[in-house]
């Protein structure tokens, strides 16, 4: 796009950083976005380090991923205000790959993962997130809130014991005595400040103020509360460009492709669901396909700069939105602040007490959990309640991607079963002696058997008319069911006429020799059939 003068360029840059709907004065908006970004950056540090330990890689690998993925998705993502970085959902998949093949194969996998996500965006596969039912969304949100809560419990362990054991939370030694009581007090004070401060002033984001106040108290009195530096040192340089040192052959592809597919799917599912959630909170729409491409570009770049890859982070996104972050500025600021921590401020950041960051995340849990679920469960259909609970449990026990897939499949099966029971027919005899069956309800694989049971082949007259004006032929199973009925009438020496079928159905069924009556009021829709049906190769039940 060409700009005729500086003002055009400035206006375009302004709209890129801030949508037109944001009518806050620039100084107020900029202050809010920067402070929100700082709050998010502080919350990103322990998460990135912890997830790096989970994946079995150096903490800087997680921090570099948080910086690069966060920066790129903030610039070109489909939802301003969303925060991306290294996540636990991806880390748990990476463990086996790193343990068996090493970190270089992880970098190659992240590059391939990003390429797959870019392809998903180009082919607009992100639109399929619309197929996720509301019950699944509620289960996802509640399950993720529980996962975020459980992830914070590792901070109540003696620093270093969980990582050294290699078994995460289960292998760590829990804090006891005074350190535990001080940790709980710090968490409680942080949560109290976050809750009370907005009632007094909104000059500073409440989570940031809480972190600063609790940190000052802990450092000033030298309280024995675990600090960020007790987890690992975050000091480092700029992420170096690094081509993954793996053999470029088919054997390498066989190793990394299955992991890349799984990681790409998990990353996109979590990112798109987070996008929908932020959309609902901000009452704005985000671009699913654009988000897919942004995640893909971010991961491809990250793989070449020594990062472990990532996706959208619902916890940090909630912190950003609730702190007032609505534009790309907050996400960019969070990434740049994180980089500055690594380069310049690591001694200071390492002194921040974990109690303050845990308190922030606990407030995120409270804000993320859909508390109206309990009210919905009392009035919603029992099956919707079952799906919500199922997705929540699977999210906690397995991972987000599995939970969403399970929820969608179960919901789809229930929908198919309900529609399968809707097939019915009203029958009457015309003055000419022909019997007319007026089919009602969708005809598809689930209702095909019920459709065949509607007809009294032996008792019907010599001419039978099947009217599909109030039905819809949906797939190959439906076509085969029509053929099967026609075959039974043919065996009895009776004629069968079909009426009010779409042009697509008429074209396919005409190849079988069935009598299909064409009329001006025939419906217009496409039938979902496979290649064999399109080629006229399905079984001919009429002959």
- In this prediction, residue 17 has a pLDDT band, given cuts at 50, 70 and 90, of low
DSSP string for 423-473? -EEEEEE-TTS-EEEEEEEEESTTTHHHHHTT--TTTS-SEEEEEEEEEEE
Least confident of 36-40, 62-66, 137-141, 433-437: 137-141
- Reported confidence tier of residue 86, pLDDT bands at 50, 70, 90: very high
pTM: 0.77
Q: What is the pLDDT of residue 18?
A: 57
Of the listed ranges 2-16, 56-70, 161-175, 309-323, the one predicted with least confidence: 2-16
End-to-end Cα distance, the chain: 64
Residue 492 pLDDT > 50:
yes
Cβ atoms of residues 9 and 3 within 8 Å:
yes
Angle, CA 18 vertex, CA 17 and CA 21 arms, to 5°: 160
**Structural element, H or E, at residue 84:** strand 84-85
Closest C-alpha among 34, 65, 29 to residue 47: 65
Distance of CA 289 to the CA centre of its chain: 13
What are the tokens at 229? Answer: 């530096």
Q: How many CB atoms lie within 10 A of CB 75?
A: 16
The tokens of 139 are what? 């289960």
- Is CATH 3.40.50.150 correct for 421-534? no
Distance CA(493)–CA(461), nearest Å, equals 10
Determine the Cα–Cα distance for residues 207 and 334; give it in Å rounded to an integer.
Answer: 14
* Each residue's pLDDT tens digit, 501-515: 877 777 777 666 677
The yes-or-no verdict on residue 105 having pLDDT over 50 is: yes
Domain limits, the chain = 24-369, 377-419, 421-534
Q: How do residues 308-364 score in pLDDT, each as one tens digit?
A: 999 999 889 999 998 889 899 999 999 999 999 999 999 999 999 999 999 998 998
291 within 8 A of 126, measured Cβ to Cβ: yes
Task: List Cα–Cα distances, 171 to 88, 158, 254, 354, in angstroms.
Answer: 17, 11, 33, 19
In this prediction, residue 171 carries a pLDDT of 54
Give the sign of the dihedral formed by CA 260, CA 265, CA 270, CA 276. positive
* pLDDT at residue 535 greater than cutoff 60: no
pLDDT of 394 reads 92
Please give the mean pLDDT across all residues of the chain: 86
Q: What is the mean pLDDT of residues 463-486?
A: 90
pLDDT > 80? residue 51? yes
């Amino acid at each position: 796009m060409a700009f005729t003068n500086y003002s055009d360029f400035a206006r375009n840059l302004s709209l890129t950083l801030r949508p037109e709907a944001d009518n806050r004065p620039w100084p107020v908006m900029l202050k809010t976005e920067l402070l929100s970004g700082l709050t998010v950056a502080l919350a990103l540090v322990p998460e990135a380090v912890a997830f790096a330990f989970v994946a079995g890689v150096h903490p800087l690998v997680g921090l570099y991923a948080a910086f690069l993925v966060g920066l790129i998705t903030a610039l070109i993502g489909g939802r301003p205000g969303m925060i991306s970085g290294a996540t636990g959902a991806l880390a748990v998949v990476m463990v086996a790959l790193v343990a068996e093949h090493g970190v270089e194969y992880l970098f190659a996998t992240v590059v391939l993962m990003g390429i797959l996500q870019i392809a998903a965006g180009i082919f607009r596969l992100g639109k399929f997130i619309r197929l996720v039912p509301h019950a699944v969304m509620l289960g996802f949100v509640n399950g993720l809130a529980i996962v975020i809560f459980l992830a914070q419990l590792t901070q109540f362990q003696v620093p270093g014991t969980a990582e050294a054991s290699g078994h995460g939370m289960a292998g760590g030694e829990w804090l006891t005595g005074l350190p535990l009581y001080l940790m709980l007090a710090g968490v409680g004070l942080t949560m109290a400040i976050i809750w009370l401060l907005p009632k007094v002033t909104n000059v500073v984001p409440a989570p940031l103020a809480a972190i600063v106040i609790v940190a000052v108290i802990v450092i000033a009195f030298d309280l024995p509360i675990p600090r960020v530096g007790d987890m690992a040192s975050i000091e480092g340089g700029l992420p170096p460009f690094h081509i993954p040192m793996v053999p470029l052959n088919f054997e390498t592809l066989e190793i990394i492709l299955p992991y890349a597919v799984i990681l790409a799917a998990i990353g996109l599912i979590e990112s798109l669901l987070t996008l929908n959630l932020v959309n609902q909170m901000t009452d704005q729409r985000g671009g699913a396909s654009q988000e897919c491409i942004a995640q893909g570009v971010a991961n491809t770049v990250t793989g070449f700069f020594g990062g472990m890859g990532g996706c959208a982070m619902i916890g940090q996104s909630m912190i950003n939105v609730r702190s007032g972050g609505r534009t790309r500025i907050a996400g960019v600021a969070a990434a740049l602040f994180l980089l500055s921590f690594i380069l310049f401020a690591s001694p200071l950041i390492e002194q921040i007490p974990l109690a303050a960051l845990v308190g922030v995340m606990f407030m995120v849990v409270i804000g993320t959990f859909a508390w109206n679920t309990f009210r919905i469960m009392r009035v919603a259909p029992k099956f919707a309640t079952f799906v919500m609970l199922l997705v929540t449990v699977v999210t906690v026990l397995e991972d987000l991607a599995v939970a969403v897939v399970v929820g969608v499949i179960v919901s789809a099966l229930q929908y198919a079963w309900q529609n399968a029971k809707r097939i019915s027919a009203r029958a009457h005899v015309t003055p000419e002696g022909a019997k007319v069956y007026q089919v009602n309800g969708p005809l598809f694989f689930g209702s095909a058997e019920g459709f065949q049971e509607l007809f009294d082949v032996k008792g019907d007259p010599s001419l039978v008319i099947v009217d599909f004006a109030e039905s819809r032929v949906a797939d190959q199973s439906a076509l085969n069911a029509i053929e099967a009925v026609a075959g039974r009438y043919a065996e009895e020496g009776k004629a069968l006429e079909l009426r009010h079928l779409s042009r697509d159905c008429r074209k396919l069924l005409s190849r079988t020799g069935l009598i299909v009556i064409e009329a001006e009021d025939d419906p217009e829709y496409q039938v979902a059939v496979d290649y064999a049906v399109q080629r006229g190769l399905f079984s001919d039940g009429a002959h």
